[in-house]
């Protein structure tokens, strides 16, 4: 694949359709073929499908192997358009948020874990967790995609977070044992965004989830955050229940669709 100077992108604006798309370069690097994401989609008239073909021409000229699109749950016209053009529904996601972070004395009986930024010598252990802890999100659940590439995607994310200008990789330990990691980002509006969270597979089912999440809520508060937000697949029931127990609020869900180039 020839390397391009800049990521590809496009924009369609007609009386029937508004569509914006861009290349997801981090996923292109994993999957080999270009990966695109439709970031804005609005059906304005019944004949929007005709104008959608303009995007398909651009997609095929780029050689995309995968296109994703995330829609609000009430965008039924848009979801029907995607399905008519070969996209498939993959998952619902929630973006839970907590606006009142817990006070220090709120959990006096909780033995908080130690938390620290990851160091270079920690990476092998964290990468082992990242490569095995995920399995309920869209890249693993779409049967047309290689799960090994999905594992590599999360490993790459961990690697890149170490040198990222605004994201931070935190490790949670029980004594010397790494039991969880969080990739977080402090935003200008006071939000601490949790990009990626995981409990080590060999630590799951031992009560570490609640302790780790509470520890990171305290960490966010101590660093000046007034709100925490994240994103989670609706099928991840165990962690959804954890967020509910921690009093997170759940805005309406989003739908995720994939188009995958046929290999037939």
pLDDT 10s digits, 197-207: 999 999 999 98
The pLDDT, as a whole number, for residue 102 is: 80
Residues 6 or more apart whose CB falls under 8 angstroms from that of 259 comprise 66, 67, 68, 82, 85, 86, 87, 88
The pLDDT, as a whole number, for residue 82 is: 99
What the chain holds in terms of domains, given with CATH numbers, is 9-94+254-260 (3.40.630.30), 97-245 (3.40.630.30)
Secondary structure class of 228 (helix, strand, coil): strand
The span from the CA of 96 to the CA of 79, in Å, is 23
Secondary structure class of 170 (helix, strand, coil): strand
The pLDDT, as a whole number, for residue 1 is: 47
The pLDDT, as a whole number, for residue 6 is: 83
pTM equals 0.91
CB atoms within 10 A of CB 176: 6
Q: CA nearest 68: which of 15, 23, 125?
A: 23
From residue 204, give the alpha-carbon distance in Å to each of 42, 133, 178, 179.
41, 10, 12, 8
Q: CA nearest 208: which of 178, 234, 228?
A: 178
The residue written with tokens 């000229």 in the block is 61
The pLDDT, as a whole number, for residue 113 is: 87
The span from the CA of 131 to the CA of 155, in Å, is 6
Radius of gyration of the chain from Cα atoms?
20
End-to-end CA distance of the chain: 21
Helix (H) or strand (E) holding 214: helix 208-222
Backbone angles phi, psi at 20, to 5 degrees: -130, 140
Q: CA nearest 89: which of 262, 255, 254?
A: 255
Let me know how long the chain is: 264
Q: Name the stretches of the chain with pLDDT < 70.
A: 1-5, 104-112, 264
Beta strands 17-23 and 35-43 are antiparallel
């Amino acid at each position: 694949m020839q390397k391009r100077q800049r990521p590809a992108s496009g924009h369609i604006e007609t009386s029937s359709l508004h569509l914006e798309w861009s290349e997801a370069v981090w996923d292109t690097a994993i999957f080999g073929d270009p990966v695109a994401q439709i970031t804005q989609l609005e059906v304005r008239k019944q004949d929007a499908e005709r104008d959608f073909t303009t995007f398909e021409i651009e997609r095929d000229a780029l050689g995309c192997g995968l296109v994703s699109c995330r829609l609000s749950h009430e965008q039924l016209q848009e979801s029907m358009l995607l399905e008519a053009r070969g996209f498939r529904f993959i998952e619902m996601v929630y973006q839970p948020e907590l606006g009142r972070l817990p006070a220090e004395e709120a959990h006096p009986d909780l033995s908080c874990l130690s938390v620290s930024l990851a160091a270079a010598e920690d990476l092998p252990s964290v990468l082992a967790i990242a490569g095995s802890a995920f399995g309920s999100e869209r890249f693993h659940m779409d049967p047309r995609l290689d799960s090994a590439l999905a594992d590599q995607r999360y490993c790459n994310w961990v690697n890149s977070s170490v040198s990222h200008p605004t994201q931070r990789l935190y490790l949670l330990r029980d004594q010397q044992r790494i039991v969880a990691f969080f990739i977080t980002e402090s935003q200008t509006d006071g939000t601490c965004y949790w990009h990626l969270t995981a409990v080590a597979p060999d630590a799951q089912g031992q009560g570490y989830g609640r302790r780790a999440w509470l520890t990171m809520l305290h960490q966010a508060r101590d660093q000046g955050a007034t709100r925490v937000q994240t994103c989670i697949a609706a099928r991840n029931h165990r962690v959804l229940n954890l967020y509910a127990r921690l009093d997170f609020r759940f805005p309406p869900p989003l739908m995720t669709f994939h188009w995958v180039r046929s290999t037939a």
